[in-house]
Structure 1
Amino acid sequence: MRKLLTVVIACAMLVPTATTAQASARHLVGTATYTLGDTAFQLPAREDGTSDRAELTAVVHYPKDLARHRYPVVLMSHGSWITCADRKAWDDQDYSKLAAWPCAPGTPPLPSQRGYDYLGEDLAAQGMIVISISAKGVEPNYLGQEQDAARAALISKHLALWQELTATGGGPLAGKVLDHGRPIDFRGHADLANVGLMGHSRGGRGTLLFAADVNQARWPTGVKIKAVVPLAPAEPYAPDDNPDNPEYTPYRITNIPVANFVGSCDRAVEGHLRYLNAHNKAPLYEYYVRGANHDFYNTQWSPSSGQVGAYDDAATPSPPKPGYCTSDDDPHRADKQLTETQQRLVASTYLSAFFRRYLLGDRRADPILTGTVQPLRSFATIDITKDMP
C-alpha cells in the first residue's frame, strides 16, 4: 500500500554535518583535480549526424584515509550556463564568446564544476568520494533531449574511467588525479557499485535520463546507481500533465530512490517532477524550499563569487519588499529569501541525509528526510513530500 506523507516544516540552525551524519568519525578531506583535455571526449551525434567534442575534467573531494577503505561515489553534474569567463563579452552580451567551446586563447573557462565544492567537502568528510564533472562542451551546439543525451554520455564516460581506475589502477586516469600535483592512488577505494548522482538544473535532466529505467542497461559494466538527486532540475517536456505521456519515458526512474529539490523563487525552472510519482517502486522525496532561487546552489553562479555572469535570479516583489522574493507558484506571495549561505546549508543538510541513508545505509538520517526532525527551522521553511510505494 502506498503511503503518502506530506509535511510542511519550518527548519533550525544546526550544523548539517553534525545533524545529518550522526557518525562516530569524521574524515579529513583532500581535493584533487583531473583533466584529459578540453576536447578529449566525442559526444553523441545529433539528429543531423554532426557531433562535437567535450572536456573530461573534474574536481574530486575524497576522504584522505583511503587505506583499507572502499567508499561510495557521488558524481555531480552542473547545469547550463556560460562556458567562458570573458568579462567584456558579458558586458557586451556577446554569447558567441561566452558560450564557445573551447574558450578563446587567454580566456579562462568558467569553472561551474567548482560551484559545489561545499557539497563535495561535506560529503567526503562523511565517507564518500565526490566527483564534480565539467560539462561545458555540451553547451554551444546541443539542445533539448540531445543535450540531455550528451550530458548522460559524459556521466557514463567518467564513471567508466573511475571503474577502470579503481579496479586496476590503470586506464586514462592513472596518475592524472592530482592533489597539489601529487597523484592519488584510488585503486580499490571507490565503490562504483554504490553510486549517487546529483544534477543541478539541466544537469539534473541529464542525470534523470542517464538513470532512467530504459537506460540502465547502458551503464558501464560494474556501475550501479543507488540514489539520484535532481537539484532544481529542468523538468522534461511533455505537452500535458499525463504522467504516462511517452515524452517522460526516457526520464522515468521507478526503482532508485530520488530526492528532488524545488525552489519557490527559482525563475529558471519549475522543477517539479510529478510524473515520477506514477509508478515509483522506490522512495521518492520532494523538498520545496521556500525562498530558494536557482543560482545560489552553485557558488560560481552566485553574486558573492564576483564571477563573470553571477547574479541573483529571484524576482523582486511588487511593491518591493527587502529580503523577500516573488513566489513562482503564486505571484501575489512574497517569500523570505534565503541567503547564499542559508540555501547551501539546506542543500548540504538534506543531500547529506539522503546520501547517508541510501549509500551508507544510515537509517538515523530518516527523521531529517521525512521532516520528523527539523534542523533548520530558525530560518528556512521546507514543504516535504515523501512517497513510499
Structure 2
Amino acid sequence: MNLDRVGTLGHSRGGGGVIAQALDSHTPPSGVHVRATMALAPAMNGINADKERITRVPLAVVAGTCDAMWEDGKIAATMAAGDSNAEHHDVRGGNHNFFNTIWTPGTGPAFATDDVAVEKRHRPGGRCESTNQTGTVRQLTPAEQRETAIHYATAFFDKHLK
C-alpha cells in the first residue's frame, strides 16, 4: 500500500466522513498523504461549512438530483469554491440509496428502499421530481446509477492518484 497517494471515497455519512478528513483543519496521521477525496451523496455530519474550507485536497462530490441530500452536496462543493481541483456532478435522476447495494431494493435486505421522497417518486414513465429544480426526470435504475458513480470515481482518481 502506498500511503503517499491515498484516495478516499465515502457514501452518505461516509461521504461526510471523507469530507471531514479533507478539511484544511484536519491533520492526517503521520505518513499518510490524502491526494483526492470523493463524496457520494454526502451527509454533512455537523460540519460547519461557514467556518471550514477544503483547499489542500482535490474534492469531487457526486449527488443525485432526486436525492433529498442533494443540497448537502452543494454545501460541500461550496467549501472548496475557487479550487480548480474541486468538482460537483449532478446525476440526473439519481437518488440517495442506489449508490449503495445494501440500501437498494432487490440487492439489499428486505428494508432497503427507493429513497426518493414518496410524493416525488413513481411519476408516470418511471420519473421522479428532482430536488435541484430541473423538473421531472427519468429515475435511474440502480445499475445505471452505480455505473455513473464508477465512471466519475475512475476518472477522478486516475487524474489525481497516478
Using structure 1 for the length normalisation, give the TM-score: 0.38
- In structure 1, the partner of 2:38 is 229
Structure 1 residue 202 corresponds to structure 2 residue 13: yes
Q: 1:289 to 1:277 in 2, by over 3 A?
A: same
- Larger RCO (CA under 8 A, 6+ residues apart): 1
Asked if the contact 1:303–1:311 (Cα under 8 Å) also holds between the matched residues in 2, the reply is yes
Percent identical: 38
How far apart, CA to CA, are the structure 2 residues paired with 1:306 and 1:351?
Answer: 22
Match of 2:131 in 1: 328
Three-state SS of the structure 1 residue aligned to 2:66 is coil
Q: 1:258 aligns with which of 56, 59, 70?
A: 59
Partner residue of 2:161?
359
TM-score, normalised on structure 2? Answer: 0.87
Aligned pairs for 1:5-24 (under 5 A) are none
Secondary structure of 1:341's aligned partner: helix
Match of 2:144 among 327, 333, 342: 342
Alignment pair present for 1:193 and 2:4: yes
When residues 345 and 209 of structure 1 are mapped into structure 2, their CA distance, relative to the original with a 3 A threshold, is same
Q: Where does structure 1 differ by over 6 angstroms across 4 or more consecutive aligned residues?
A: none
- The alignment of Structure 1 onto Structure 2 pairs a total of residues equal to 159
Relative to 1, partners in 2 of residues 1:334 and 1:199: Cα closer, same or farther, differing over 3 Å? same
Counterpart CA distance in 2 for 1:296 and 1:323 is 15
SS at 1:196's partner residue? strand
Provide the alpha-carbon RMSD of the alignment.
2.3
Query: 1:130-169 counterparts in 2 under 5 A?
Result: none
SS in structure 1 of the partner of residue 159 of structure 2: helix
AA in 2 matched with 1:327: S
CA distance in 2, matches of 1:212, 1:355: 18
Distance 1:318 1:295 in 2: 13
Distance 1:322 1:284, change over 3 A: same
After superposition, give the CA deviation of every residue in 1:61-100 in whole Å (9 maximum; x if it has no partner): xxxxxxxxxxxxxxxxxxxxxxxxxxxxxxxxxxxxxxxx
Task: Determine the structure 1 residue equivalent to 2:25.
Answer: 214
1:253 CA displacement = 1.3
